[in-house]
Structure 1
Amino acid sequence: MTMTAATFDALRTAGTMSAALWIALLIDHLLGEPPARWHPVVWIGHYLGWIGRRIAPLGLSTARAVPFVAGALAWCIGAATVAGVAFAVQRALWMLPFWATAIGLGLALKPLLAWRMLRTEVLAVEAALDVSLDAGRTQLARLVSRDVGQLSEAEVRESAIESLAENLNDSVVAPIFWVLLLGLPGAAVYRFANTADAMWGYLGLRHGRDWTWAGKWTARADDVLSWAPARITALLLHGLVRRPGWRVLPREARRTPSPNSGWPMAAMALRLGVRLGKPSVYVLNAQGRRPRSGDLLQAARFGGHAVRAAVALATLAFFLGAWAACG
């Protein structure tokens, strides 16, 4: 292969993948999520629900090895299947002209990126709070798994802001990160891992089944795959410029039990100047004020800036990679 051909291939790859990301973001902005029957993440959820009923024991269990091995095997089979399908789709699309490949990959990537839905659901919490506290709690329950029945108005906003920050990583930045590294299969496997963690990654009982060991592999896999993206999300949210609180971000992030979710949540707390926390579990930016009306909208603005910055940085990284590959 001549240098000219190598250069062309590298630039075609960078241009195609970059265009696909921007197309996916545009589709998300204009159309939102596809119908459930065509949504690959919904299909993943169906598989996880079906196999999960066969690997997690009913009631509290002392068994360790069998549910752990079953959970790990079910995860690996699902991830390998998702990766194989995504690889086949990407390879088939790569045979098309540049513009068709970019559009096809953008359409395939869109279900793996979910910024519009996240923003809409979070802002709906503020709209519901304008009606009543109970309405706000009910809307929040669509976003979080915690008990919302006793939360105050400020605590409802705290939980919604936390959900926005955490899911910004899970639903947007992390898939983009894995697209950059491994293409469509990388994003697909990440969304599989994150969905599996949401359904299986629990200690103790959930829906009558003990996930302590059945979901342990899943939880650790999600921790590994989310480690770098969570810190990138924090940088994007907090800002890449020097600002008050920059030095305390790592300390605040480590206050949560999760090795990853604390990073985007702490960054958002510091950026907004608010206190965020989960009762009896952790408090982030304890010296900050309680969230008030307008903070959810501001958090959504910061999230939107982070989404666009993530795609722009991925585009830059694609072309830098192409330049490096050409020597």
Structure 2
Amino acid sequence: MCTKMSFMPIWYDPLGLALGVALDRLVGDPRSAAHPVAVFGRAAAGLEQSLYGDTKAHGVLHVAICVAGAAGLGLAVQRMPGRGTRTVATALATWAVLGGTTLAREGVFMADALERDDLERARRRLPHLCGRDPSALEAAELARATVESLAENTSDAVVAPLFWGAVAGVPGLLAYRAINTLDAMIGHRSPRYQRFGWAAARLDDVANYVPARVTGLLTVLAGPDRRQALAVLRRDGHRHPSPNAGRCEAAFAGALGVTLGGANVYEGRTEHRPTMGDGPKPGVGDIRRAVRLTRVVSLAAAGAAVAASFLINRAAAGRRQRIR
């Protein structure tokens, strides 16, 4: 039986995760130059100017410094003295790295614009969700891009940071967001980043491997059509060129009864993605359904993360007691 002194620390991390999720739900992700992710992005860009070289080795060094710095900062913050300090630090770090509320809001914005047939407004907003060229997209392709982005970013913006927060606390939260931000900055295929961005892209694949599959399973459990979601996830999840995005998109396609995939244009480069699902292409009306699914999956992920953090901390506390 745990004493009060041994019991309370077990709750520091899970309580912090829960409070951080609540903060994200209430406040969202403020678009500010002072936001920690924006500050990290500027620091990473500045370091890139000093370290850039058109080789994988230069990219590995850049990623190692950035990610180690974020994890080291998280470890220092987590070890700050004071009753409740760890809980507050975990809550603030969780809020800083989560993007679930903002993701859902972007989906709602796209639904509003397309329901009003305001294609120009929707095209201007799509870059907030993904990197596709929206200039020539009509309503159907804008809807597909939105649903696919909601599916993939449910993992990247919610499930993955919560997973690493449960497993590794504040260092895990900050390191994951550093990895994901670097992938967005330099992990894409372009003449400048073909080699320099290789490490960022591969590390992001590794960091999201388990969370993407957790997202797929949570989507199956939370979706309106569990049987179809599971069938499409098992059949089509591996067909996407990304080792992770396909799991999320396939599960969403099955749960919503739509078909995702097709031709996407990125900075003048066309990529053909395999189709996933058995239904029609998503329409404007499917965006709000995808937003609702994103919110339910996010809530389920939060509950699972809090429970996992508590169990991990309790197991660690038990090991320490046995050693003593």
Which TM-score band (shorter chain)? Answer: 0.7 to 0.9
* Equivalent-residue separation in structure 1 for 2:203 and 2:130 (angstroms): 21
Once the two structures are TM-superposed, the CA of residue 240 in structure 1 deviates from its matched residue by 6.8
Deviations, residues 39-76 of structure 1 (Å, cap 9, x unaligned): 1111111122223344446xxxxx5xxx2111111111
The answer as to 2:243 corresponding to 1:259 is yes
The aligned counterpart of 1:308 is 299
The aligned counterpart of 1:17 is 13
2:196 to 182, 207, 214: 214
Once the two structures are TM-superposed, the CA of residue 306 in structure 1 deviates from its matched residue by 1.0
Query: Are 2:60 and 2:199, in contact at CA under 8 Å, matched by a contact in 1?
Result: yes
Relative to structure 1, the CA distance from residue 13 to residue 300 in structure 2 (aligned partners, 3 Å threshold; closer, same or farther) is farther
* Equivalent-residue separation in structure 2 for 1:187 and 1:171 (angstroms): 11
The aligned counterpart of 1:244 is 228
Query: Are 2:250 and 2:277, in contact at CA under 8 Å, matched by a contact in 1?
Result: no
* Equivalent-residue separation in structure 2 for 1:153 and 1:35 (angstroms): 27
| Pairing of 1:123-134 with structure 2 (within 5 A) | 123-129=108-114, 130-134=116-120
Relative to structure 1, the CA distance from residue 159 to residue 12 in structure 2 (aligned partners, 3 Å threshold; closer, same or farther) is same
Once the two structures are TM-superposed, the CA of residue 272 in structure 1 deviates from its matched residue by 0.4
Query: Are 2:14 and 2:166, in contact at CA under 8 Å, matched by a contact in 1?
Result: no
Deviations, residues 175-215 of structure 1 (Å, cap 9, x unaligned): 1111111111011111100110111112233xxxx111101
What secondary structure sits across from 2:128 in the alignment? coil
The answer as to 2:285 corresponding to 1:294 is yes
Structure 2, unpaired ranges of 5+: 264-270, 320-324
Deviations, residues 250-292 of structure 1 (Å, cap 9, x unaligned): 3312221111111111111111011111415124335311222
Relative to structure 1, the CA distance from residue 199 to residue 313 in structure 2 (aligned partners, 3 Å threshold; closer, same or farther) is same
The aligned counterpart of 2:23 is 27
* Equivalent-residue separation in structure 2 for 1:54 and 1:110 (angstroms): 31
The answer as to 2:90 corresponding to 1:108 is no
The aligned counterpart of 2:56 is 68
Query: Are 1:34 and 1:111, in contact at CA under 8 Å, matched by a contact in 2?
Result: no
Query: Are 1:128 and 1:139, in contact at CA under 8 Å, matched by a contact in 2?
Result: no
Once the two structures are TM-superposed, the CA of residue 321 in structure 1 deviates from its matched residue by 2.9
The aligned counterpart of 1:60 is none
The answer as to 2:145 corresponding to 1:154 is no
Once the two structures are TM-superposed, the CA of residue 142 in structure 1 deviates from its matched residue by 2.7
Q: How many residues align?
A: 308
127-136 or 73-82, which deviates more: 127-136
Once the two structures are TM-superposed, the CA of residue 245 in structure 1 deviates from its matched residue by 4.3
Query: Are 1:48 and 1:199, in contact at CA under 8 Å, matched by a contact in 2?
Result: no
Deviations, residues 13-34 of structure 1 (Å, cap 9, x unaligned): 4312111111111111111124
| Equivalent residue letter for 1:225 | A
Taking only aligned residues, the RMSD between alpha carbons, in angstroms, comes to 2.2
The aligned counterpart of 1:277 is 261
* Equivalent-residue separation in structure 1 for 2:31 and 2:138 (angstroms): 34
Deviations, residues 212-257 of structure 1 (Å, cap 9, x unaligned): 1101111111111110001001111121795134133133122211
1:163 to 137, 140, 149: 149
TM-score by length of 2: 0.88
What secondary structure sits across from 1:277 in the alignment? strand
| Pairing of 1:166-181 with structure 2 (within 5 A) | 166-181=152-167
TM-score by length of 1: 0.87
| Pairing of 1:186-225 with structure 2 (within 5 A) | 186-205=172-191, 210-225=192-207
Once the two structures are TM-superposed, the CA of residue 86 in structure 1 deviates from its matched residue by 1.0
116-125 or 47-56, which deviates more: 47-56
Relative to structure 1, the CA distance from residue 244 to residue 202 in structure 2 (aligned partners, 3 Å threshold; closer, same or farther) is closer
Query: Are 1:226 and 1:260, in contact at CA under 8 Å, matched by a contact in 2?
Result: yes
290-299 or 156-165, which deviates more: 290-299
1:317 to 300, 308, 320: 308
| Equivalent residue letter for 2:94 | L
The aligned counterpart of 2:45 is 49
What secondary structure sits across from 1:169 in the alignment? helix
Query: Are 1:159 and 1:278, in contact at CA under 8 Å, matched by a contact in 2?
Result: no
